[in-house]
Amino acid sequence: MDDSRLKKIGAELKKARARRDEWEGRVKELERKYKEAENTCIHDMVHAANLSPEQLAILIEQSRRSVPNGDPEMIFDQSEEETEE
């Protein structure tokens, strides 16, 4: 392999790494924004229900105890089936 081909591949590699770094930064920023929006949504729901932190903790603990096998996905799966009927 001649030197010019090696340089060309090296330059392409450098560009690809720069694009990868750019996309990784974008993914991290979007993950941060998503988490922030998710937290805001949860906060708004708790606020709308007029729950104190203690009441919310009790509600979560009660729901955890009532979920079969401790699998919260089962509740969501069941509620989706009910809405489809």
Q: Do 9 and 42 reside in the same domain of the chain?
A: yes
- Domains identified in the chain, total number: 2
- R_g of the chain, CA atoms, integer Å: 24
Query: Tokens for 40?
Result: 């805001």
**pLDDT tens string 24-35:** 999 999 999 999
Q: Do 42 and 64 reside in the same domain of the chain?
A: no
Q: Do 41 and 64 reside in the same domain of the chain?
A: no
pTM: 0.60
Structural domain range at position 74: 51-85
Contacts of 67 (CB under 8 A, 6+ apart): 74, 75
**pLDDT tens string 51-66:** 998 998 999 898 888 8
Q: Do 40 and 5 reside in the same domain of the chain?
A: yes
Q: Do 62 and 74 reside in the same domain of the chain?
A: yes
